[in-house]
Amino acid sequence: MTPVDILILSNGPGEVTTWVRPVVKALRQQLGEDRSLVRISVILSPCPNASGKEAAIALSYPEVDRVQKAEHFWQFLLWGKTVDNWDWRSHGVVVFLGGDQFFPVVIGKKLGYSTVIYAEWDARWYSIVDRFGVMTAKVAERIPSKYAHKFTVVGDLMLEANSYASLVQDKEQSAEIIGLLPGSKAAKLAQGVPLTIAIAEYIHAQKPNTKFVIPVAPTLDLQTLASFANSQKNSFVETFGFSGASLIFPEDNQQKPILKTAKGLTVELWQESPAYQLLSQCSICLTTVGANTAELGALAVPMIVLIPTQQLDAMRSWDGLPGLLANLPGVGTTFAKVINWIFLRRKGLLAWPNIWAQAEIVPELVGKLQAKDIGEMVLDLLAHPEKLEQMQMKLHNVRGEAGAAEKLAALVKEEIEN
């Protein structure tokens, strides 16, 4: 085999954790571990949702050989030079897993590499891109027939959690577990942390044996997470009638760090990623919108999706131009309020399982949410397990087949062999 380089282009935290991770694993499974024959590089492009930790996360994947941070992307796009002056082999493939589809076109031409694009909703530049792995057949419906041979339906990369589902289907009977997923970005955490923990306090008062856990996003450190539960650092703590929580590290390394509230509630903080084993044990999860709803859906874990709007400009984590406008210095707040006002008037389905089903099979709660109301909703569901079972059954029905990463990796392998 001729030595090849595989260059993966990606951008935000969701793409790096839910797209890049399964794809690089599948690539190694199909192409082998010999780095002298197959080298995998990741180059990140700027993203308004980025946390700054995406490069470290990508580099932590054992399948990846080298990573360049987003701050150096434009230099590479324009001049073809990385900040560390990487060498490139004469044969290779550029794989698009997030960003702008124009990027692999430019970079592929500069390096003389084939291009493979994962297209979730639309496919562009199909006349000069070599291969597309698309989420659904609808993505290719408007493509001229002479380019149809370039398109292969691979499925939804966000469903890769489904491949773990068969290993973790049986829930523990010893304790009822509720998962709290408030997000990973400040725009969501500011409201999500106090709201979800306030809901947990309300439920805990009625069901003191219930266990609460937060699977901490890999882009988030515990001190930052805890700061959003501190009333002196986050004004929304009092907005949700929540007295705050403190971060406590256990003396015993076998125990998890916890957030402990003034009312005595403890919430375990799990930093293992991906947290599929933990999530699969949850009776229900309280989550914000994002890739986490796809992972929960793939695992068929019942959920309630929360979109609090106590601060209209808080949700600044939009993709593309809206996200860039909402985060501009000085005028960003105004843009954010307008964007979110338009969003609330035109809101469609937001959670991935609902988008897949084109129906609200898991509740989406939008507005000035209060802990007591949602707490009562959760208690009702826990008291009527048949409702949770019905939600779980619907999630099973819409989550689709796993294997998108393997199919996309197969397209890359074909390009290498060709």
pLDDT tens per residue, range 279-320: 999 999 999 988 889 889 888 999 999 988 866 545 545 444
CB 49 within 8 A of CB 319: yes
- Is it the case that residue 171 has pLDDT exceeding 80? no
Average pLDDT, integer, range 38-66: 92
Chain centroid to CA 285: 15
In the block, residue with structure tokens 């390009």 = 415
Q: State how far the Cα of 294 lies from the Cα of 204, in Å rounded to an integer.
A: 27
Q: Which tens digits make up the pLDDT trace of 5-20? A: 999 999 988 899 889 9
Residue 164: band (very low, low, confident or very high) from pLDDT cuts 50, 70, 90: low
Fold matches, 4-155+403-417 and 165-398: yes
- Is it the case that residue 167 has pLDDT exceeding 50? no
pLDDT at 186: 83
Q: Which two tokens stand for residue 119?
A: 């297209």
Average pLDDT, integer, range 190-216: 95
Three-state secondary-structure class, residue 77: helix
pLDDT at 312: 52
Residue type, position 261, single letter: T
pLDDT at 311: 60
What is the CATH topology of the domain spanning 165-398? Rossmann fold (3.40.50)
Mean of all residue pLDDT scores within the chain: 87
- Is it the case that residue 105 has pLDDT exceeding 90? yes
* CATH code of the domain occupying 4-155+403-417: 3.40.50.2000
Residue 71: band (very low, low, confident or very high) from pLDDT cuts 50, 70, 90: very high
pLDDT at 173: 47
Q: Which tens digits make up the pLDDT trace of 237-252? A: 888 888 899 999 988 7
pLDDT at 47: 87
Beta strands 303-308 and 114-119 are unpaired
Q: State how far the Cα of 28 lies from the Cα of 17, in Å rounded to an integer.
A: 17
Q: State how far the Cα of 185 lies from the Cα of 315, in Å rounded to an integer.
A: 10
Residue 137: band (very low, low, confident or very high) from pLDDT cuts 50, 70, 90: confident
Higher pLDDT residue, 135 or 36?
36
The full set of domain ranges for the chain reads: 4-155+403-417, 165-398
Could you give phi then psi for residue 145, rounded to 5 degrees? -60, -30
Distances (CA, A) of 286 to 20, 172, 181, 331: 26, 19, 6, 32
pTM over 0.75? The answer is no
Can you spell out the DSSP letters for 188-213?
Answer: HHHHHHHHHHHHHHHHHHH-TT-EEE
Residue 22: band (very low, low, confident or very high) from pLDDT cuts 50, 70, 90: very high
User: Which residues, in sequence order, are bridge partners of residue 267?
Assistant: 212, 259
